[in-house]
Amino acid sequence: MAQILKATIPNLDLCKQALENSKVIAVPTETVYGLAGNALDEEALKTIFLIKGRPLFNPLIIHTDCMKNAEKYGIFNALARQLAKQFWPGPLTMILPKKEVVPNLVTANLDSVAIRCPQHPTFLQLLKRLSFPLAAPSANPFGYVSPTSAEHVNCSLGEKLEFILDGADCEIGIESTIVDLRDTGQPKILRLGPISKEALEKLTHSAFEQHISASKNELRAPGMLKSHYSPDTPLEITPLVRLNHLIASNNASELAFIFQQRPKQSIYHNLPNVYWFSEDGAELEVAHNFYQLLRSTDALNYKKIYIEDINETEGLKAAIKDRLSKAAFQ
């Protein structure tokens, strides 16, 4: 298994050396853990795709520590600068025209590049030590539930990695918002995330269209495939009323039931196969626990997982609903 490293200066230097030698390591971010390698090094990029089992048609996001470095890889317009000033460092990825220095492996041969400046202090410390950006898709087998802890990475990919840089559990717990800013007159959201559509439109006074699903031939960004983030256990989304009915009428030992918040029925609280994402339905807590609970229930070999549907269509809950829909897609 991989060596899990605490974020000490000697360990950061060890990770720096590995990355400079075309190695791939796992790193923490505020969203999910990433599988990181030199974004300008084709050997490292090929290793990322190989370890993850990621198809080459799926573009990668490159990560830098500041706006000055980001401008080396993408062509920023006024709208992109406005968003960067407000939301960077943070969970916002921007699709921009790429510069020639960016390898085609990163962009899936597209003329655009996805760029983000992350907020996680350990990841930023590492980026500041490097002379190149890092490509860092989620550190899990392609299509599986994203990892939000070092242990998640070790369980899924530990046999294929030398180092996992431990930055504790991810604060947010779902992937960054992705916006396509190539046409400033018609900006698009390609992946919902922690930076909401409402926040983007309030800041910019622009209308952002949503294009959050695409076929493999139409991908402009990660996370757009209709099936993604999926546990091995079959998963079904169901309304709250039906979830309660299923609990009352089925064999409790074979099925798992997940509520958005702690159920009102106290009789459920001690059932071993009843779970909830949060105590009161707060969106930050639901997001933080979302992948963690999907992974833990998946590991218990239930025949099926039923999850309460999300009714909200705005804010962070909209992003969680998107992940849930793609995780359950058949």
Amino acid identity, position 15: C
φ, ψ dihedrals at 97, nearest 5°: -55, 135
Cα angle for residues 47, 213, 312 (degrees, 5° grid): 120
* CATH architecture assignment, domain 3-210: Alpha-Beta Complex (3.90)
What pLDDT, on the 0 to 100 scale, is given for residue 242?
A: 93
* Domain layout of the chain by residue ranges: 3-210, 235-328
| Structure confidence at residue 251 as a pLDDT band (50, 70, 90) | low
In terms of CATH, what superfamily is 235-328? Answer: Threonylcarbamoyl-AMP synthase, C-terminal domain (3.40.50.11030)
pLDDT tens by residue, 283-327 = 999 999 999 999 999 999 999 999 999 998 899 999 999 999 999
Q: What is the pTM of this model?
A: 0.96
Distance CA 200, CA 184 (A): 13
State the burial class of residue 155 (Cβ atoms within 10 Å of its Cβ: 0-12, 13-18, 19+).
middle
Structure tokens at 215: 């076929």
What pLDDT, on the 0 to 100 scale, is given for residue 215?
A: 74
What pLDDT, on the 0 to 100 scale, is given for residue 218?
A: 76
pLDDT tens by residue, 64-117 = 999 999 999 999 999 999 999 999 999 999 999 999 999 999 999 999 999 999
Look at strands 92-97 and 112-116 and give their pairing.
antiparallel
